[in-house]
Every structure is written in C-alpha cells, then in structure tokens.
Amino acid sequence: MKYISTRGDRTERRFCEILLEGLAPDGGLYLPTHYPKVDGATLTRWRGLGYAELAFEILSRYIDDIPPADLKALVDKTYTVAAFGDPAIVPLKPVRPAGEGHGALMLEALSNGPTLAFKDMAMQLLGNLFEYELARRGETLNILGATSGDTGSAAEYAMRGKRGIAVFMLSPLGRMSPFQQAQMFSLQDANIHNLAVEGVFDDCQDIVKAVSADLDFKRRHKIGTVNSINWARLLAQVVYYFAGYFQATKTNDERVSFTVPSGNFGNVCAGHVARMMGLPIERLIVATNENDVLDEFFRTGAYRVRGSADTHETSSPSMDISKASNFERFVFDLLGRDTARTADLFGTQVGQGGFTLDAASFARVAGYGFRSGRSSHADRLATIRRVAAESGLIVDPHTADGLKVASEQPGPETMIVLETALPAKFASTLVEALGQEPPRPAGLEGIEALPKRVQTVPASVQVVKDYVAAHAPA
Ligand SMILES: *Cc1c(COP(=O)(O)O)cnc(C)c1O
C-alpha cells in the first residue's frame, strides 16, 4: 500500500514514511492510493476474531513495511484487557431495544482506556508504533503539543516511558477540569513534560505553531506532533467500526448506522474508510455541539470556518472547533479524488473563510451515507437525564450530543452511538444534569491528591523553546 497527498503531490510513500509526519509537503493530508475492499467471506472470517486479531487483519492491509510478526506483536501489546478493562475492548451497551419505526440503540464503549476517552484507542497504538519505528531508525523524537484536555492526556499516557520519545505538552493554566489536570500532572515519568501556560488554549496552540515554523529549531531538536490528522491514528480507529458491527449483527446481510460525536472529523472519517472498505454501514451521522460548522455543511453544502469570536466554549469541549482538520479527506473522496479542486478548496478558499460545494457534488454526499445534527447545552443536560432515567446509563456530555442527534434520525437498522468519553472526566456538567458526582472507575478515586509534576511558564515562544532545548534528550 502506498500513500498520496490530497493536494496533488503524487510521490508515493509507504506507511512508515508517513507514520511520524503531519501534513504532506504540499499542505495536504495523506490517504492510501485506494481503500482495500473486504468481501463477504472475509467479513465472515473476521466476525470470529478477538479485537487485537481484527486490528492486525485490518492494519495489515495498509501497512506493508513492518514485518507481519512485528506488527502482530505491537497490536497484541496494545489492545489488552489490562489497558482497556474488557475482553471485547470495545463492548456494546444496550440503550433501548428495537421498537415501532426504529432499530435497537446501543453505545459502543470506546472510553475504557487509560485516559477515559476514545483517543486512547488510536494513541495507545501510536505510542508503540513510534517506539518501534524510532528504534529501527536509531532516531529520537520530541513531541510538542497543545491541549485543552483529552488529546494531551491520551498522548502522554501513550508515550510515557517509551524509549527515544519525550513529550512537551502545553495546556492553559487552570483551565482544564481538576480531573484532567490530575490525570496529566500526576505522571512522574521522566520523558513527560507538562507546561502550564499563562494564557488560553489559543495561546498554547500559537506557541506550538511558532516553534514548529522555526524549521531550524524543529530539525535540531527533532520536534514532531501527534495531532488528529496523523494517518496512523485514523487507521487505528477504523478497527472499532468493524468490531462494533460484528457485535451488533449476526450476519453480513444486516446493516447498521453509527452516530459519531464530532470535532475535527477524525473519528467519523474512520467510519467513512470502513464503509469504503465494504463494511455494511447504512448511515454515518455526524453529531456536533453549538460549534456546528460540520452540521451546516451536511445540511447545506456550505463549509464556513469560524473565527475565534464565533467559536463557543461549550460543555462538550473536545468538540469545540472552528474548522475540522480531517474534513479535507472526505471532500477529496467526494470530488472523485480531484487533487486540483481539493487544493483550491482547502489550500485557497478555506483560508478566505470557506466554500460552497456545487450542487452536483453536494448531491453525492448522501450516497456516502452522511447525515448530521447538532446539540446544545440544554440538549446535553436533558439527554443525560433522560438516558439515566430510561436505561440507568450515565453518559458524558459528548456522548450525550451523539445520543441526542441519533434520537432525531430513527431508522429500521440498529444504531450504534460511539461513546467518546466517560462522565468522570466532566464532573461539573454531570452534577448540573443529575445533581450528583459521576461514577469513577476503580483506581482513580483520589488522583487529585497525587503529587503534581508541572512547570508554569509565561505565554512566550522563547521560554518554551528554551525549556525544550534544555530538557530534550540529546
Ligand atoms: C476528540 C474528541 C471528540 C471529537 O473527535 P474528532 O475525531 O475530533 O471528531 C469527541 N468527543 C471526545 C470526548 C473527544 O475527546
């Protein structure tokens, strides 16, 4: 399998060449030259596999420059009961049985990894892939990132203790939830560096951009990232669409739909890839919060990126985006992989505020299964209450956005809503909805009291550069 850019760079690269990369050199995103098709006999065989075996089968179709035995070992080491708490790794939880006019409604639990959000599903694998590839090359990497919560902790728990890797994670001082701060700052691993920046999330992101734009510094200190446009992260997420489908169905004649709480379009783009491979997915429903740039697109064909003044801070903060960084991948496929048009839309027009698709292209969206909806703070609270009363399940605010949007679009097929975080991460919204603290997984009861390892820094590019230079391994 080879990889190409959405914007016309036709240099064909193999998986390990793009593993440690973000954007392609022309500013586009990497995609495989084609999606390997999976036939009915293969689906039947995969139905009986455990999660790690299934992951190996799917990843093997996209990775041909890691020896199969090594890839198998990496996957086996990643998807364990010890890390994910359940033999199914991503078990389904029934919410409501099938009834008049609607199929069964289920949650797929993607949030039982070490940081209680679905980002662990991909990031845990990425940590092992990075360590493997860096050792093979005899190289080291310093990961620099900015986080408002879920991404930073998932990256740190994936990279902690890994040989050849250090993490420098910027977060806005005092702005993350106490639980999220405790999760990150209690890590005592020498290769994990928490920098609490005196500023807001945008300041953190601007510093990361400025440091990365200094190409000399970047090369000298081997700076890399793990953001959601990384192809390996997206690929790892394809697996749980298959795993959810197999648990929800008895034969390959059945179709299911997925509703996906969405921000940067990484999670639901993995669903698109699974569907392109031939998984019998009826609909992929994109659920947004008040930051509804994607819902607007799927309703109207207009992709209107928001300025920071129009980007709302909501109670499902991991979906608070101004533009969706993985969206270009879907539009590339929608336009028949026309690199010139994709480059014009995303290289030029998005920079000027956005674009409106021509009617013929927009008419094809439904054929890819996509639908959408949006949710508000009041919707989240009402959904958390309703689901608790009806099924006894306590859900987090992002998953509530998904459940709300799914309930508005019933169909005869089974609907699987992806559970993207556990409620323990977002206690204040849960208290607002239910009047009580959310349950906490065993072992995390007292984490706020653990000693913290964090360095407070001013919002200064130079101070961050100096810190990285002083602490990066040689
Ligand atoms: C990151 C995140 C999302 C959004 O996922 P995308 O891949 O950016 O669409 C949704 N919910 C939670 C809890 C997250 O951490």
* Structural domain for 410, as ranges: 89-116+232-434
What pLDDT does residue 94 have?
Answer: 97
Does residue 456 sit within a domain?
Answer: no
- Given the CA of residue 398, which atom of ligand 1 is nearest to it? 11
- One DSSP character per residue, 327-368 reads HHHHHHHHTTT-HHHHIIIIIIIGGGTEEE--HHHHHTGGGG
Give the Å distance between the CA of 249 and the centre of ligand 1.
Answer: 26
**pLDDT score recorded for residue 21:** 86
pLDDT tens across the length of the chain (474 residues) = 999 999 999 899 999 999 998 889 999 999 999 999 999 999 999 999 999 999 999 999 999 999 999 999 999 999 999 999 999 999 999 999 999 889 999 999 999 999 999 999 999 999 999 999 999 999 999 999 999 878 999 999 999 999 999 999 999 998 888 899 999 999 999 999 999 999 888 889 889 989 988 999 999 999 998 888 999 999 999 999 999 999 999 999 999 999 999 999 999 999 999 999 999 999 999 999 999 999 999 999 999 999 888 889 899 999 998 889 999 999 999 999 999 999 999 999 999 999 999 999 999 999 999 999 999 999 999 999 999 999 999 999 999 999 999 999 999 999 999 999 999 999 999 999 999 999 999 889 889 999 999 999 999 999 999 999 999 986
Active site residues per annotation: 119
**Distance from the alpha carbon of residue 317 to the mean position of ligand 1, in angstroms:** 9
Q: What is the pLDDT of residue 474?
A: 64
Q: Is 197 exposed, middle or buried (0-12, 13-18, 19+ CB in 10 A)?
A: buried
Q: What residues are in contact with ligand 1 under a 6 Å CB criterion?
A: 117, 119, 150, 228, 261-267, 318-319, 398, 420-421
We report the CATH number of the domain holding residue 284 as 3.40.50.1100
Q: What is the pLDDT of residue 149?
A: 79
Minimum CA distance residue for ligand 1 atom 2: 318
CA of 394 to the centre of ligand 1 (A): 18
Which ligand 1 atom is at minimum distance from the Cα of 149? 15
Task: Tell whether 164 is covered by a domain.
Answer: no
Q: Residue 265 C-alpha to ligand 1 middle, in angstroms?
A: 8
181, 441 in Cβ contact below 8 A?
A: no
pLDDT digits (tens, 9 = 90+) for 168-207: 999 999 888 889 999 999 999 999 999 999 988 888 988 9
Q: What is the pLDDT of residue 175?
A: 85
Angle at 52 between CA 422 and CA 266, to 5 degrees: 50
Measured in Å, residue 196 CA sits from the centre of ligand 1 at 22
- Whether 367 is in a domain gets the answer yes
User: Nearest residue CA, atom 1 of ligand 1?
Assistant: 318
319 CA to centre of ligand 1 in angstroms: 6
Q: Please indicate, yes or no, if residue 277 is contained in any of the structural domains.
A: yes
Q: Relative to the CA of 266, which ligand 1 atom is closest?
A: 7
Residue 44 CA to ligand 1 centre (angstroms): 30
Residue 170, in any domain of the structure: no
Ligand 1 pocket check: which of 398, 401, 404, 425 to mutate, most ligand atoms within 8 Å of Cβ? 398
Residue 415 lies in a domain: yes
Which of 120, 230, 319 to mutate for ligand 1's pocket (most ligand atoms within 8 Å of CB)?
A: 319
Which atom of ligand 1 lies nearest, measured to the CA of 111? 13
Ligand 1 pocket: which of 110, 267, 294, 372 to mutate (most atoms within 8 A of CB): 267
Nearest-atom index, ligand 1, CA of 119: 15
Q: What are phi and psi of 257, to 5 degrees?
A: -120, 155
Q: Helix, strand or coil for residue 407?
A: helix
Phi-psi region of 201 (alpha: psi -120 to 50; beta: other; left: phi over 0): alpha
Rounded to the nearest angstrom, the distance between the alpha carbon of 267 and the centre of ligand 1 is: 7
Q: How many domains would you assign to the chain?
A: 1
Tell me the CA distances in angstroms from 6 to 3, 17, 226, one per residue in order: 10, 16, 19
Distance in angstroms (rounded) separating the CA atoms of residues 19 and 195: 26
* Ligand 1 atom closest to 154 (CA): 15
Residue 104 in any domain: the answer is yes
**Residue 350 in tokens:** 């998005």
How far apart, in Å, are the Cα atoms of 7 and each of 4, 23, 350? 9, 11, 14
How high is the pLDDT of residue 10? 84
User: Amino acid letter at 99?
Assistant: G
Asked if residue 255 is part of any domain, the answer here is yes
**Substitution site in 293, 323, 325, 420 for ligand 1 pocket (most atoms within 8 Å of beta carbon):** 420
Give alpha helix (H) positions in 186-326. Answer: 201-213, 215-220, 231-248, 266-277, 293-300
